[in-house]
Structure 1
Amino acid sequence: MNIIKTDGNDKVLELTLSVLVFQQGDFYVAYCPSLELSSYGETVQDAKEAFDEAMNSYIEDCHANGTLQQDLVQHGWKLNIMNQAHAEPPPMINLDIPSGLLRTQYNETRRVAVC
């Protein structure tokens, strides 16, 4: 589930993004296909915590540079020019995760100030 909502004043976006956690060798990878953002750890929990840090860095960087909307478009999101707080996520991609290696899938939600 990939969703972007506004607070009604178009000053805050709420992003809800799907994150997949799968095993790759001795590590676990947390991956958000709609942002091409990933992290890893020695356990599922480590991967989730590392993803949380990566997501925080991504949001901080986009906010500091005023590039969130541009970055979303580069990742295949479709933005409504008349309503900048509305965005349609890119189509889901077919990931080649071997059977049995997907450990969990969860939604990550963040509130982001719009520059």
Structure 2
Amino acid sequence: MDKKRANAKYSDGNQTVEFSVSIFLWEEESVFYVYSPALDLTGYGLTKEEARESFETVLEEFVKYTHNKKTIFKELENLGWAVNKRRKRVVSPDFEDLLSENEHFRHLYKSKDLVRDSSNVNLQLA
């Protein structure tokens, strides 16, 4: 399984949120899925491109909503991220932690033919 990460960046003019996450792709019953275990977010579609676009929309909405509600750092901490609020830096959990702490991901990893996505997600909001 090839290692690949997605990069996300959010800026509201005053604050910027940037992070990088692993994303996985699989197909099940003619539907493609893109999943980020570090954020527990999923996108889907009838093609890889549709799944990717769906994931980008879900990721964008997650970042916008949690940032606007001022809960983004709390949500990331709840997902196992290391958060430094003062410097506004976040670090995603490592792969082994995701496998041990995220039951859904552990099940997917063991039962599906997961492939790391071959292109980056670039999220820039202004």
TM-score normalised by the shorter chain: which range applies? 0.7 to 0.9
1:6-25 equivalences in 2 (<5 Å): 11-25=15-29
Partner of 1:102: 115
More deviation, 13-22/45-54: 13-22
What's the offset of the Cα at 1:11?
2.3
Instruction: Map 1:71-90 onto structure 2 (within 5 A).
Output: 71-83=75-87, 85-90=88-93
Contact 1:59 1:112 in 2 (8 A): no
Q: State how far apart, in whole Å, the 2-side matches of 1:88 and 1:15 are.
A: 7
For 1:1-115, what aligned pairs fall within 5 Å after superposition? 1=5, 11-83=15-87, 85-92=88-95, 93-94=98-99, 95-99=109-113, 102=115, 104-111=117-124
TM-score by length of 2: 0.69
SS in 2 for 1:107: coil
Query: Contact 1:27 / 1:42 at 8 angstroms: preserved in 2?
Result: yes
Amino acid at match of 2:34: A
* Aligned residue identity for 1:96: K
From the two aligned structures, give the one with the greater strand fraction.
Answer: 1
Q: Distance in 2 between matches of 1:52 and 1:2?
A: 10
User: Which amino acid counterpart does residue 87 of structure 1 have in structure 2?
Assistant: V
Match of 1:96, SS state, is helix
Pairs aligned (count): 109
Structure with the largest fraction of helix: 2
